[in-house]
C-alpha cells in the first residue's frame, strides 16, 4: 500500500512554520499537524478527521502567538515602537558602521519582529561596515537578544542618535562593554559632527 501526502495549509509564525498535511493510504485519509523549525520538526500530531486537525492547528498557532505576545510585552510599547530614520544621525549612511549602533529598516524584518528591540544592532564588522567596500555583509549583535545576526549594508537606515536610544538599549551597551571589553564608540549627538 503506497502512502501519499500533500500539504494543505501552511502558516509561518515567528520562527516556526505550522503545516497540515493530508495523508492518503489506499483510499483512506489521515491528517498530520506539525510545527517545523529551522532545526527540523518540533512536534507532530496525527488524526483521522480534518476538523480535528484544523482545531489542533489553530490551537498550536494560538499558543505560539500567546508566548510571543508575553515575551514582547516585557518591553513597554513606548520603548519598543518602530524606529524611523529620525532616530538616526543625518548623513550617517556615508560613515563606517564598525563598533556603532545601527538601526535596521523595519521593512527588512518580518511583521512580527518589527520592534525597536529587533532594529537596534551593534555593528561588529564585515566588509559592509565600510561605505566604500564592495562587500555588503555587516555582522551584528542584536542589542536586546544578544544574538549574532548578519545583514546587508542596505538593510540599515543609519547610525543611531544617542538621544533616540531607549533606556534598555543604553543599559545593553554598558553590559556589552563591561562583559567583552570591546571598544564601543558612543553614538554621536545629532548636532555633533561625525569623524
Q: What is the CATH number of the domain that holds 28?
A: 3.10.450
Domain end: 17, 48, 72, which one?
72
- Same domain for 85 and 159, yes or no, is yes
Is 43 in the same domain as 87?
Answer: no
Q: Distance (Å, rounded) from C-alpha 135 to C-alpha 73? A: 37
Verify that 12 and 43 share a domain, yes or no.
yes
**DSSP strand E in the chain: where?**
3-13, 16-25, 28-37, 40-47, 100-104, 120-125, 137-142, 148-152, 156-159
Tell whether 85 and 10 lie within a shared domain.
no
Owning domain of residue 90: 78-180
Q: Does residue 156 share a domain with residue 98?
A: yes
Q: Does residue 131 share a domain with residue 40? A: no
Q: What is the pLDDT tens value at each position of the chain, 195 positions in all?
A: 567 889 999 988 877 889 999 999 888 899 999 888 777 667 788 889 999 999 999 998 888 888 777 766 655 555 677 899 999 999 999 999 999 999 999 999 988 788 888 999 999 999 999 999 999 999 999 988 888 999 999 999 999 998 888 888 888 888 877 776 555 555 555 555 544
User: Is residue 54 domain-shared with residue 90, that is, in the same domain?
Assistant: no
- What b/e string do you get for 121-137 counting C-beta neighbours within 10 Å, with b at 16 or more? bbbbebebbbeeeeeee
Number of domains, the chain:
2
**pTM metric for this prediction:** 0.66
CATH number at residue 149: 2.30.30
Q: Tell me, yes or no, whether 171 and 84 share the same domain.
A: yes
* Domain-embedded: residue 108: yes
In-domain check, residue 185: no
Q: Is 163 part of any domain?
A: yes
Torsion of CA 55, 57, 58, 59, to 10 degrees: 80
Amino acid at each position: 500500500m503506497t502512502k501519499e501526502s500533500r500539504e494543505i495549509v501552511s502558516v509561518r509564525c515567528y520562527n516556526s512554520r505550522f503545516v497540515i498535511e493530508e495523508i492518503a493510504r489506499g483510499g483512506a485519509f489521515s491528517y498530520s499537524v506539525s510545527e517545523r523549525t529551522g532545526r527540523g520538526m518540533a512536534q507532530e500530531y496525527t488524526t483521522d478527521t480534518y476538523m480535528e486537525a484544523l482545531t489542533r492547528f489553530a490551537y498550536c498557532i494560538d499558543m505560539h502567538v500567546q508566548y510571543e505576545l508575553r515575551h514582547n510585552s516585557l518591553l513597554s510599547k513606548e520603548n519598543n515602537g518602530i524606529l524611523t530614520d529620525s532616530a538616526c544621525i543625518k548623513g550617517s549612511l556615508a560613515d563606517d558602521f564598525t563598533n556603532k549602533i545601527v538601526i535596521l529598516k523595519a521593512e527588512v524584518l518580518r511583521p512580527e519582529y518589527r520592534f525597536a528591540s529587533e532594529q537596534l544592532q551593534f555593528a561588529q564588522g564585515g566588509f559592509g561596515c565600510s561605505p566604500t567596500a564592495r562587500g555588503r555583509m555587516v555582522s551584528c549583535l542584536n542589542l536586546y537578544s544578544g544574538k549574532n545576526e548578519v545583514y546587508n549594508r542596505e538593510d540599515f537606515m543609519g547610525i543611531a542618535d544617542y538621544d533616540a536610544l531607549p533606556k534598555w538599549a543604553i543599559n545593553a551597551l554598558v553590559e556589552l562593554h563591561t562583559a567583552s571589553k570591546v571598544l564601543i564608540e558612543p553614538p554621536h549627538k545629532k548636532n555633533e559632527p561625525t569623524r
